[in-house]
Structure formats: C-alpha cells, structure tokens
Amino acid sequence: MRAKMSETTTAPGSTSQSPQEYKLEAENELRFEVEGEGDVKVTLILVEGQAEIFGTELMKGHAYTFYNGAKVAVFTWTGATVTLSDGTPAVAYIAFETPMVFYSNIHGILEQFRQRARDEDQPMKGPTCMVCGPTDVGKTTLTRILTNYAIRKGWTPIYVDLDVGQGSVNLPGTIGAVVCEKPSNPEDNSWSLVAPLALHFGHLGPANNGVLYNKVIERLSQIIKLKRETDKKAAMSGVFINTCGWIESHGYKAILAAARAFQVDIILCIDQERLYNELVRDLGASTKVILTPKSGGVVERSRQFRIDARQQRIREYFYGPSKNLYPHSFDVPFSSIKLYKIGAPNLPDSCLPIGMKAEDNQTKVVTVQPSMQILNHLLSVSFAQSAEDSIKVIESNLLGYVCVTGVDTTRQLITLLSPQPRPLPSNSILLLSDVQFMDSH
C-alpha cells in the first residue's frame, strides 16, 4: 500500500502548538492513532468537503474528540480538508489505496436485495449479511460501515453482535442485537441503543462452552426472525452479523451453525482464503461467499490492548463515555440474591443419570454460593423469574449488569456497582460471568 506519512515532530500525546491540516484527495483516507500517558486526546474537525468515519458522515465544523486507544480512519469520496488539534497522534498518515470502493460495491449488492424486497412486497427477502474472518482483520469495522451505509439510505437494519470477547452492542460475555435507526457515533463507534437485546453467555470465548454458545445463537436467530415478521421495514432493511475471530475447529462449526440459524444470504470472508473455500464447500449455492480484502489500516492488537479495551467498554457502561454518569453502590445480603451460573463441571458418562448426555451439563443452571471468588465479576440481571427451567433462563433477555465490588463473608453481604439505585428488580436472577471489571473509581 502506498501511503504518505505525516510530518510530526511533536512527541505522541503532547499538546500541539497549532492544528495540523490534512488535505485529502478523492478516495483518500486519513488514518491516525491516539496513544499516550494519561487522558490524552486528539480533536478532529472537518474544514471543507465531505468525509466519513466508518460509514458515519461527519458534520462540517463540528469538533470530534478521540481519546487514548482510538484508531480512526477518515475517508472521503470527493475530497476534504480536516485538522487535528489538542494533541499529536502517535501515528498519522494519508492512505491512497483503500478497499472502500470494494466495500461500496458490496453495499450496492445489498441495496439491490432491499429494493427487490420492497418492490415485490416481500420484506423477509431483505439481505442477511455475515462478516467473518480471523482476529484483527476489521470484521467489526466492515459490519459497522455497511450498517451505517444502509441507515444513510433510510433503512433500519438489525445489527447482530456474536463477538463475546469485546461486545459492540452489549458488554463482553454476551451476544445481542439492536435495530439501528441512526448511524453510529464516530467518536466511540457506539450505537444509539433503544431496547437492545442481550443474551447471557458468561465467557470471553466460544470455546469455553461451545454447546451454550450455539444454543444462545439459535435463540437469538429465532428472536430476530420474529422481529422481522412483525417489523416490515426492519425486515426489508436486513440483518448485519458481526462474528468473533475463532475460525478453526469448533469455531468453524459455530460459524456454520450461525450461518444456517440466521439463513445468511451473503458471507463476507475477510483476508482468509482457506476459510473462504471451506465455507463455499459446506454452505452450497444458497449462500454467497465473497472473499473480501482487509483495510491496510488494520493493525494487530496485543493481548493487553484487548484487555484494556474490554475494561474501557465496561467502564463506559457504568460511568458513560464522557464519565458523566454516576453509578450506585450498595450492599445486598447473601440471603436475598438468587445467584447462578450456566454450565456445570463435566462428568464421565458413567456418573450421569440414565438418559442424560454429557453436553446437557453445559446448559445446566447451577446455584452459586457467594464467596470471595465472585469478587470483581460481572453479573447479568436476567428477566427470568425462576431457575427451575434452564432453557428459559438461557433464552431470557437481560435487564442489565451489575459488578461485585466487595464481599463480606462475616456480615454475609456483597457490594454491587449498579447503574440503577437499590433495590435490585424483584425476584431477579443474577447470572455469574467470567468477565471481570476492576473499578478504579
């Protein structure tokens, strides 16, 4: 890829003396990363022309602020002038070659599906598109671009997130979906969440409980189907599915299961020829698989970066993206909570009751006794009212999340961090997650 490096003499994260101006020609992309110590930030302003960030159109003259860890790509179809100020990005350059024309052509194909569904008055023929590939190839970014493009055409697509490791709709450890009526926020890539759907999984990777992962995917696909049957516009607008980077062994089987459960029309396989050929072989002619290039701006993320991003995602849930929310902290007696986890330890077949399969243990709801082992763990607050039926617990939507910030075994109390004041919803069931959050406030 040919790229023009910016001439930056200031240390990354330091304060700039004057705004840095970048003139972008048509189909150019300004890529920059914000890194540094403390609350470093970079402010972007579109001065002239038209530009977008991951499919969301920028407003001229508006100041967009990006904080430590942000990796941003400002693309223009017609040419634009932008400035960066407040701080100096760690990396900033103009890329002349991008896959955006290819992505735009994909959008055109999906738009044909939508137009045909509207013209023939068959809403369920709206497109269902799934994006897959290994880690760090830009799956979430591409899914977001295509979703934003559909919204800008007046549609209200359903965005589905199956990536339990990071979570772009809900918190890590869950899968979910949301009907998108407005483009995502270019500053933090978040959607305007109105009644999002969330299902509890409880782990950071599908491999931790593949049986449960497939079960919640199947349930989510059923809910999406019912939504499309009752919401004509959403049905015509289509579904965009973001997946995780687990593509081998059981991970590949999970991709196949998701493709079949959601009855996917198009799969965009990013930068992985082997996965592309396997999908073409196993899914047949009913699903179109397209080998898709990744952007040159995609960078490999370290394990620590993923951990930090996950912590930031959870922190924003409780404190808000701009730290403008004030969560509540309160004590709850051990005796007044119903705490469970999904999945019991594996047992040999000889130890199982007659007629019970080993995989049944993976979807079993078991009681958890409060102890220091749950400290700093997230708990999902379920709509389910009883744990007697494991399937109902697995299939129930979530009200939200709380975090265990203290455990007093002497007084038999746990301290919860919650976005809502006490008490917890009546008869609510709490589901233990492997996901942990260290509240530094």
Q: 83 in helix, strand or coil? A: strand
Measured distance CA(88)–CA(20) in Å, rounded: 9
What pLDDT sits at residue 346? 63
Do 73 and 165 lie in a common domain? no
Do 422 and 403 lie in a common domain? yes
Structural contact between residues 148 and 184, judged by C-beta atoms closer than 8 angstroms: yes
- Where in the sequence is the domain holding 429, given as residue range(s)? 326-436
What pLDDT sits at residue 273? 96
What pLDDT sits at residue 243? 95
Q: Which residues contact 48 (CB under 8 A, 6 or more apart)?
A: 60, 80, 81
What pLDDT sits at residue 2? 37
Beta strands per DSSP E along 16-173: 20-24, 29-33, 41-49, 52-53, 56-57, 63-67, 71-75, 80-85, 91-95, 128-132, 158-161
Do 55 and 104 lie in a common domain? no
Measured distance CA(341)–CA(429) in Å, rounded: 10
| Token digits of residue 184 | 């995502």
Structural contact between residues 89 and 19, judged by C-beta atoms closer than 8 angstroms: no
- The pLDDT averaged over each successive group of 10 residues in the chain (441 residues) is 39 61 97 83 96 97 91 96 92 95 97 96 96 94 97 96 90 94 89 83 91 95 96 96 90 93 97 95 93 90 87 90 87 94 70 58 91 96 90 94 96 95 89 92 66
Beta bridge pairs of residue 284:
none
* φ/ψ bin of 284: left (φ > 0), alpha (ψ from -120 to 50), beta (otherwise): left
H/E segment holding residue 312:
helix 303-319
Characterize the bridge pairing of strands 174-179 and 288-292. unpaired
Phi and psi torsions of 306, nearest 5°: -65, -40
Strands of the sheet containing 197-200, edge to edge, are 197-200, 174-179, 158-161, 239-242, 128-132, 266-270, 288-292
In a domain, residue 321? The reply is no
What pLDDT sits at residue 351? 53
Terminal alpha carbon distance of the chain: 43
What pLDDT sits at residue 354? 57
Do 82 and 123 lie in a common domain? no
What pLDDT sits at residue 99? 96
Tell me which of 67, 82, 98 is where a domain ends. 98
Tell me which of 239, 266, 292 is where a domain ends. 292
What pLDDT sits at residue 350? 54
Tell me which of 38, 72, 98 is where a domain ends. 98
Do 132 and 281 lie in a common domain? yes
Do 80 and 141 lie in a common domain? no
Q: Any idea what DSSP says for residue 78?
A: S
Measured distance CA(421)–CA(46) in Å, rounded: 41
Query: Which residue carries 């730290």 as its tokens?
Result: 323
